[in-house]
Amino acid sequence: MRENAIVNDLTTGSVGKTLITFAFPLMLSNLLQTIYNMVDMIVVGQFVGKVGLSAVTIGGNLFQLFTFFAIGFANAGQAIISQYLGAGDKKAVSRAFGTMFSFIQSCAIVMTIVCCIFAKQLLMFMNTPQEAFKFGLDYTITCYLGLFFIYGYNIVSATLRGMGDSRHPFMFIAIAAGTNLVLDLLFIAVFNWEVFGAALATVIGQGVSFVWALIFLYKNREEFGFDFTLASFGIDQDIFRRLIKLGLPMCLQSTAIAFSVLFVNSFVNAYGVVASAVTGVGNKLAGILNVITLAFSTSGAAMVGQCLGAGKFNRIPKIIRTALIVNLIFASLLIFTTVLFPKTIFGLFNNEEEVLEMALSYVPCAVLMYLSNALRSPFMALINGSGQSKLNLAVGILDAIVSRIGLAILLGITFGWGIQGFWYGNAIAGFVPFLIGGVFFVSGKWKTQKLIIS
């Protein structure tokens, strides 16, 4: 592991080069994660049809809501670990991992039980079309049983990223993606297990990835500084307090945004399986750009945390600028492709004519989603890396409750725009984190704030 890579590069080399070098394996990881998720939709869309595609879309949105819990606390753990590493306290890094692992995996067990009990009610809340309900139930319950694995993967990956290692998380997700692809084709195309087969392939892929990640950490336990005894998984009260203080707002922020998307999509789903399918494909297309933007948000946050821990404030604007330039270049390419070849792109998922016709009206919303993804990513890296828990919560409330739900209701119901109003409300809300993060960056308050580890 190159756990000191970023720390060493704080005083040598180009910031932009260091960021891109660190972000590149994350881009590949996110690309595989995107392919991982898209394979389910492509295979289901081609072999099961628009009803199956609708079920995977709705079930995937629900599953994502609960995975954001792990992502929020894992990102908080990453920020804590990166600042400890920047300050040179390796023992605290080990205690942070043990605390994060025990807490998040305990939550995974509780979350799995609750989600399975209320699976039907959750699908009803989403206005799941009746013809897709059984498929949706098969998909969600199976995926809920895999929460322990995906929570575990996020814990290990966040820990390694906080230590400057983005290469091994890429390897873990590559294993999951490859396993998922093979099993998707086997379970759906050969065994004809339909949507259940897609969910089972996903869970098995996640399980294999998590086990492999744990084996890697165990083999490197001396270098990692974690002995894997039962006592090492104890919860350190001081670190747990920091994890909750930072992680709860981050979790609420991401969960609030995910819930607002579910809320808006519940109105969209009421328009039937075609509308649900088109929205799901549109979200997956935005996920292609997320390959880039999420990589720079995650790696940028780790670099910001270590720069703050080491007192290298002059490096942070260069991190923001590099991430912004790269994001906008890739966003422009995706906008160009989607505007010129919409039917070809949507047809990869499902080539039924009614789906392709509705997809044409979705294109302007897709363009807005691409731009908002590109703009908000660098500034969320600054907010997360500096441990701004209150600002994170503010972003979640304004993005989710005020903007996304408010605009969707205003445009879709009050103005009578129908489904396009819900689409546009969701897309425009994505610019809120960019506005808030931009003001925070310009204010310079990140230079004088107290560190999480202080």
Which structure tokens are listed for 338?
């989607």
Q: What are phi and psi of 248, to 5 degrees?
A: -60, -50
**Whole-number Å distance between alpha carbons of 217 and 212:** 9
DSSP for 239-292, please give it: HHHHHHHHHHHHHHHHHHHHHHHHHHHHHHHTT-HHHHHHHHHHHHHHHHHHHH
* Residue 404 · residue 426 · CB < 8 Å: yes
Residues of the chain with pLDDT under 70: 1-13, 36, 450-454
* Residue 204 · residue 226 · CB < 8 Å: no
**Whole-number Å distance between alpha carbons of 438 and 380:** 9
Which structure tokens are listed for 356?
């392709």
For 55, residues 6+ apart whose C-beta sits below 8 A from its C-beta are 44, 128, 132, 133, 135, 136, 138, 139, 195
Rg (CA), the chain: 21
DSSP for 368-414, please give it: HHHHHHHHHHHHHHHHHHTT-HHHHHHHHIIIIIIIIIHHHHIIIII
* Residue 70 · residue 108 · CB < 8 Å: yes
For 163-236, where are the alpha helices, taking DSSP H only?
167-184, 194-219, 221-224
For 87-193, where are the alpha helices, taking DSSP H only?
90-117, 119-125, 130-144, 147-162, 167-184
pLDDT at 348: 83
Nearest Cα to Cα of residue 264 among 400, 357, 365: 400
* Residue 306 · residue 85 · CB < 8 Å: yes
Nearest Cα to Cα of residue 302 among 166, 170, 396: 166
Task: Say what the pTM is.
Answer: 0.70
For 171, residues 6+ apart whose C-beta sits below 8 A from its C-beta are 212
Q: Which residue has the tokens 């005020």?
A: 402
Nearest Cα to Cα of residue 400 among 65, 174, 87: 65
pLDDT at 442: 92
Domain definitions of the chain by residue range: 5-325
Side chain identity, residue 98: G
* Residue 193 · residue 250 · CB < 8 Å: no
**Whole-number Å distance between alpha carbons of 62 and 123:** 8
pLDDT at 12: 44
Sign of the dihedral defined by the CA atoms of residues 219, 223, 229, 233, in that order: negative
Sign of the dihedral defined by the CA atoms of residues 120, 124, 128, 131, in that order: positive
* Residue 45 · residue 53 · CB < 8 Å: yes
Nearest Cα to Cα of residue 363 among 420, 287, 311: 420
